[in-house]
Structure 1
Amino acid sequence: MRVETFLSASAARRPDKVALVAGERRLTWRDLDRASDRLAGALAAHGIRRGDRVVVFMDNCAEAVVAIFAILKAGGVFSPIHPSTKADKLAYVLNNCRAAGLVTLGRLARVAAAALAQAPAVGTVMVAEPRDGAPPSWLRYDAALSADAAPPPAPGIALDLAMLIYTSGTTGRPKGVMMTHQNMLAAAGAVAACIDSREDDVILSVLPLSFNYGLYQVFLAARSGATLVLEKSFAFPQAVVQRIAAERATVFPLVPTIAALLLQLKDLKTGDLPTLRTFTNTAAALPIGHILRLRTLFPAARLHSMYGLTECKRCTWLPPDELMRRPDSVGVALPGTEVWVADETGAPLPPGEVGELVVRGPHVMQGYWDDPAATARALRPGPYPWERVLHTGDLFRADAEGFFYFVARKDDIIKSRGEKVSPQEVERALHALPGVREAAVLGVDDPILGQAVKAIVVAAPGALTAQDVIRHCARVLEDVMVPKHVEFRDALPKLDNGKIDRRALAAPLMDAAE
C-alpha cells in the first residue's frame, strides 16, 4: 500500500462525495482522483520517473493537492515549499534535492523563474493559472488535465520515498527530511486512531500545506474519506469562523497562535459553531487559560493535544479525558510507537528526571537528504541491533504513569506561529544589510505568536532604524522569519571561543520579563 491509495480507495467508495473545498472550487473524490491521474500521466510523459523529486511551490489551493497526489502516482517524491519562500532559498532546495521538476502558480512565477535560473538541472516545470513571468516553455496545468494521459501502472512500493519535507535546523540551512510511504501510512494511521477520524468529518484547515501539520490534513481526509476545506490562512479570523459555520466543519486543527486569535473574537459565544466536535493542537502546549476558554465556548468539542516534529510527524498525544488532570502534559506515546526520556548514552531515565526525548516507531524518518552527519546525530542505535531510533534534541521528563512533559529545546530554534524559524538563517539575512556589524536572533514570548522573532543588532552609528531592518528582512525572508522586534546594542556578549554567548544575550530579556 502507498499513500496515493488513500485517494483511490475513497474515490471507489464515495465517488460523488465532496472531497476538497478550496475557495469557490469543490471537487468530489472522483474529480480529485481523475485529475491527479491525468496530471501524473503528464508528468511521466515529460520525464518524471520513479524516485524523482518534484517541488510543489504553491499555496493552499486545489491545484496543490492534485499535484501532490499526481507526483506520488507518477512514482515521484514531492517536496512542499511555502509560497512566501524567496528565490535564493527555493534555488537552494531545488539544487539540494536535485529536483527533476517544479509545480507552481502563475502568481509565484517570477520567484520560481529567478530560482530556476540558479537551478538549471530542473527539467520539468508546470504552472497553474499562468501569468506574466511564466515562460512559454513551462507546461500548463490545465492543458495537462485535458490531455487524459494515464499514470504509470506501477509507480513503486511502500518502501519508496514519498516525501522530502524541509525543516529549519541549527545550521541555518534547511534539511530535507526523508519519509517513505510506509512512514507516512504509519503516521497517518496512528493520528487517525487517536483523534477518531471519520468519513463524515469536515476538516477545516488554515495551516499551510508546506507545514507538516497542515499537509497531513490532506492525508487524514483521504484516508477516511472526509471532506477537507482549505483556507489560505487565519489572517481574517472572523471570515474563517463564518466558513466553519457555512461548511458545518467538525474538525479544526489549531496551533497556539490560532487559538489565541480565535479567543480574541468578541462576538464568539458559547454554543456558536455547534458542529465542531474535535480540535487538534500541536507545535506547543496550549496555555491553561486557552484550554478553559475553549471548553467554555465549545463544550461538546474534544481537544486532542499532541506533540511531534517533522522527523516523525507525531510522537505523543494527550487523551482529551486527561486534559484537565494534566494540562501541561503532551501525553503518552502514539499507538504502535515507543518514546522515552534518555540520558546522554540513550539509556532510559527514571520518572521525574530530565533528559532527551527518544522516539521509536515505524513513523521515524529515514534520515536527512544528502546529510549523513546530521542523520547520524539524529538517528542512533536503538535497543536492538537492527534499528536506529530518533533522538529529538528536546528535553523532557516523564511522570510515574508514563505521561510526558516538555521542558526545553536543546537547540535555539524559534517556534513562531507554529512554524520553525532558524536564527542562523535570519542572521545571515541581517548581515547582508549594509550598516550591520553584528547580529543575533532569538525568540521572545508573545501571546499571539507563541514566540516572536527578535533581532539584536550592532550597527554603524546612525546607519539604520528598526524599520530599515524589518523592511530588509521582509524583502529577503519568508513572512514567519521577519523580526517583530529590533534592538540596537553597542556590542554582543561573547564566549571565550569568540562565539556569541546566546545565554547571556537572552538574560536581560528574561530579567525584564521577571
Structure 2
Amino acid sequence: MTMLDDAGLLHHPLQSAARRWPDKTALVCGKRRATFADVLHEAGVVAAALREHALQPGDRVALFLDNGIEAASALYAVWMVGAVAVPVHPLTKAAKLAQLIDDAGAALLLTQATLRPAWDGAITRCTSLRACFVTGMQPPGGDARVLPWPAAAGQAAKPAAATRPDDLAAIIYTSGTTGTPKGVMLTHHNMLSAARSVQAYLGLHEHDVILSALPLAFSYGLYQVLLGLAVGATVVLERNFSFPAKVLDTMAVERVTVFPGVPTMFAQWMGMKNLDRYDLDALRLVTSAAAPLPLAQIRWLRATFPQMRLYSMYGQTECKRISYLPPEQLDVRPDSVGRGMPNQACWLVDEQGRRLPNGSTGELVVQGPHVMQGYWRKPTETAQRLKACPAVNDTALYTGDIFRTDAEGYLYFVARRDDIIKSRGEKVSPREVEDALHAIEGVCEAAVIGVPDALLGEAVKAYVTLHPGVQLTERELIKHCLARLESYMVPKHVEIVDALPRTDNGKITKAGLRTAVSPTP
C-alpha cells in the first residue's frame, strides 16, 4: 500500500510519508540532502508566509525555480494553503515569463536569485503580483514586492478548510510544440488519479532511488517528485541534463535504481564512448516519454543495461499519461506504446468521430479521472479538445494525435494530426521516416516535416544531427532511406544540422523548423 491509496489532496502523501519515515532521505540536490521531515517542515514554513500575504484558496502562485529542494517544498506549500501551483520552466525569458504570470493572474511568485535577469524584467509588467519571494538573495530594494525567502522561524500553515479533491491544484502550461502554450487546468483528483495509475504499473517502492533531470515545470518531471515521495523513495534532482557525464557520475554514487528520460537524453548517452566506466548496475527501471522512442534507442538501451526494465510510454500534459508498453512486449512489438494504463478508457475515432475497431488508424481519444478540466481562460480551445461522449456518459479528451492499432489493440504513434505530410496524394507519417533515419548508424536525431512543393504539394524534408566524428552526406542518407521506405516517403531534401530546435522541456519543435522553411520550387 502506498501513501497515494487514500490521499484526497496532493500534500497528503508527503504528510503520511513524513510520519512513517521522518529521518529517511527524501530529496537530494547537489550536496544538499533533506529528510521527509525536513521537506514537510520547509513546506510548512513557506505555506505560512503565503498565508501572511493574504493568499486565498484558488489564488495562483507561479514557481520559477530550478530543480531543487526549495522548488519541491514550494509546490507542497502551495497545495497546503489551497492555492494553485503554476510551475514555469527556469529557462523562460522575461517577456514570456511576464506573459505566463499575467495569463495565470498569479498573485505571488516564488523564484531564486540566479534567475533575476528574467524575473526582474518580468515583474515590473505584472500588475497581478502582490509579492515575489526570492531564495538565495536579500531584497535588492526598489520594488517593495521583492522579499527574501521565508525564514525557518515561520510557523507551519494548516491546510485550507475550503480545499477539496475537485479544487484546482495546478495550471501546467503546454510546451508549445504546436503553437502558443496553453494552461492545462488539473485538480487534486486529476493529478492523484494519474499518479495512482502510473504507480499501478511501475511499482515504485521505498527502496528506490529516482534520479530526475527533468524540470519540475514539465509534468513528467513533476510526477517524479509526487510519485517518489508518495512511496517513500529518495528522489535525486539534477538541475538539467546539460552535462550527461555529471548525471552519470551522480547515478553511480547514489546507486540510482530508476531513471526517467526522454529520447534526447538517450541519444546523448549513445554518443558517449566511455559509458562503461560508470557503475550503473543498480539501475532496474528506465522510462521514456514526451516523444516517441526510436527503435535504435530501444535496442541500444536494452543491450547496454540488460538488467533493467524499459517502459516506453505516451501521454500529454492534458492528462499526464495514456499508455505504456509492458517491458515483456518489447520483443514482440518494440515500436508500440502499449494499450492504455489502468483506470481509463481509450479508443480511436475517424474524422467523423466514429469509433474504430482494432486494426484501424485514427485520432486517439481518452476518458478517465486524470483528464484535465480544460485550458485556462480558453473556452474555444477547450471545446475543441474536451467533448461529450455518450458512449462513456462522460467528457472525453480528443488528443489530436493519430495512432494505428494492431489486432490486439496495441497503439502505434503515427503523427500529430497537424504533422501528417500529404505528398503525391499519399499521406506520410513523419515518425516512419524518422525511424528509418534513426536506423542509420551514426545518426543521432532526426526530425521530418512537409515543405511546400509546386509539383508534389508537399515534399518530405528531413533535418538530421550526427554523432560526434561521423561523416555522412545528404545523398548517403537519402540512399539509405530508399532501401527502407516506399518511394513517396523518401525525403526529397535532407539537411544535416548541428542541433534541432527544442522547447524548454527538450522536445523537438517542428514549428521551429517550419519557420525557417520557404517554398520549394
Residues 225-252 of structure 1 show CA distances to partners (whole Å, capped at 9, x for unaligned) of 1100000111111111110010011000
* Partner residue in 2 for 1:496: none
Identify the range of structure 1 (55-64 vs 165-174) with the bigger mean alpha-carbon deviation. Answer: 165-174
Aligned with residue 403 of structure 1, among 373, 392, 410: 410
Matches of 2:262 and 2:177 in 1, distance apart? Answer: 23
**Paired residue type of 2:171:** L
Residues 144-181 of structure 1 show CA distances to partners (whole Å, capped at 9, x for unaligned) of 33222433453511000111001145773211000000
Would you say 1:66 and 2:73 are equivalent positions? yes
Matches of 1:273 and 1:479 in 2, distance apart? Answer: 25
* Partner residue in 2 for 1:247: 254
* Partner residue in 1 for 2:184: 177
Change (3 A) 1:479 1:220: closer
Identify the range of structure 1 (161-170 vs 263-272) with the bigger mean alpha-carbon deviation. Answer: 263-272
* Partner residue in 2 for 1:326: 333
SS in 1 for 2:418: coil
* Partner residue in 2 for 1:460: none
Is contact 1:106–1:134 with CA below 8 Å preserved after alignment?
A: no
* Partner residue in 2 for 1:92: 99
Change (3 A) 1:145 1:151: farther
* Partner residue in 1 for 2:63: 56
Matches of 2:98 and 2:507 in 1, distance apart? Answer: 18
**Paired residue type of 1:118:** R
Residues 260-289 of structure 1 show CA distances to partners (whole Å, capped at 9, x for unaligned) of 111222122399411100000112232222
Matches of 2:407 and 2:223 in 1, distance apart? Answer: 32
* Partner residue in 1 for 2:425: none
Give, in angstroms, the shift of residue 222 of structure 1. Answer: 1.7
Would you say 1:366 and 2:384 are equivalent positions? no
Would you say 1:377 and 2:384 are equivalent positions? yes
Residues 183-238 of structure 1 show CA distances to partners (whole Å, capped at 9, x for unaligned) of 00010111111111111110001111111111110101121111000001111111
Give, in angstroms, the shift of residue 113 of structure 1. Answer: 2.3
Matches of 2:385 and 2:232 in 1, distance apart? Answer: 35
* Partner residue in 1 for 2:267: 260
Change (3 A) 1:245 1:190: same
Q: Superposed, which structure 2 residues align to 1:3-402 within 5 Å?
A: 3-130=10-137, 135=142, 137-138=144-145, 140-152=147-159, 154=161, 156-169=163-176, 172-269=179-276, 272-384=279-391, 386-402=393-409
Q: Which runs of 5+ in 1 are unaligned?
A: 424-441, 449-469, 494-504, 509-514
SS in 1 for 2:42: helix
Matches of 1:325 and 1:71 in 2, distance apart? Answer: 45
* Partner residue in 1 for 2:427: none
Q: Percent identity?
A: 45
SS in 2 for 1:177: strand
**Paired residue type of 1:407:** V
Matches of 2:462 and 2:374 in 1, distance apart? Answer: 27
Is contact 1:270–1:298 with CA below 8 Å preserved after alignment?
A: no
Matches of 2:398 and 2:509 in 1, distance apart? Answer: 30
Change (3 A) 1:328 1:178: same
Is contact 1:127–1:134 with CA below 8 Å preserved after alignment?
A: no
SS in 1 for 2:347: strand
Residues 284-319 of structure 1 show CA distances to partners (whole Å, capped at 9, x for unaligned) of 232222222212221110001110010010000000
**Paired residue type of 1:69:** Y
Matches of 2:99 and 2:10 in 1, distance apart? Answer: 27
Matches of 2:49 and 2:139 in 1, distance apart? Answer: 23
SS in 2 for 1:311: coil
Residues 385-421 of structure 1 show CA distances to partners (whole Å, capped at 9, x for unaligned) of 85210000000111111100100111359999xxxx9
Is contact 2:80–2:157 with CA below 8 Å preserved after alignment?
A: no
Is contact 1:110–1:133 with CA below 8 Å preserved after alignment?
A: no
Identify the range of structure 1 (78-87 vs 372-381) with the bigger mean alpha-carbon deviation. Answer: 78-87
Is contact 1:106–1:132 with CA below 8 Å preserved after alignment?
A: no
Give the alignment's Cα RMSD to 1 decimal. Answer: 3.1
Identify the range of structure 1 (284-293 vs 40-49) with the bigger mean alpha-carbon deviation. Answer: 284-293
Give, in angstroms, the shift of residue 135 of structure 1. Answer: 4.8
SS in 1 for 2:276: coil
Residues 310-348 of structure 1 show CA distances to partners (whole Å, capped at 9, x for unaligned) of 001000000000011101101011101111111123221
Is contact 2:339–2:411 with CA below 8 Å preserved after alignment?
A: yes
Is contact 2:215–2:505 with CA below 8 Å preserved after alignment?
A: no
Q: Number of residues paired by the alignment?
A: 446
* Partner residue in 1 for 2:518: 492
Give, in angstroms, the shift of residue 109 of structure 1. Answer: 2.1
Change (3 A) 1:71 1:398: same
Matches of 2:277 and 2:352 in 1, distance apart? Answer: 50
Q: Which runs of 5+ in 2 are unaligned?
A: 1-7, 421-429, 435-446, 450-460, 468-498
Identify the range of structure 1 (14-23 vs 265-274) with the bigger mean alpha-carbon deviation. Answer: 265-274
- TM-score normalised by structure 1 residue count: 0.80
Is contact 1:270–1:297 with CA below 8 Å preserved after alignment?
A: no
Is contact 1:113–1:134 with CA below 8 Å preserved after alignment?
A: no
Matches of 1:478 and 1:283 in 2, distance apart? Answer: 12
Change (3 A) 1:96 1:363: same
Change (3 A) 1:237 1:378: same
Give, in angstroms, the shift of residue 56 of structure 1. Answer: 0.3
Is contact 2:210–2:233 with CA below 8 Å preserved after alignment?
A: yes
Matches of 2:220 and 2:509 in 1, distance apart? Answer: 23
**Paired residue type of 2:402:** L
Matches of 1:141 and 1:200 in 2, distance apart? Answer: 36
Is contact 2:325–2:337 with CA below 8 Å preserved after alignment?
A: yes
Matches of 2:378 and 2:244 in 1, distance apart? Answer: 40
Give, in angstroms, the shift of residue 36 of structure 1. Answer: 0.3
Is contact 2:81–2:157 with CA below 8 Å preserved after alignment?
A: no
* Partner residue in 2 for 1:465: none
Change (3 A) 1:345 1:486: closer
Matches of 2:140 and 2:343 in 1, distance apart? Answer: 48
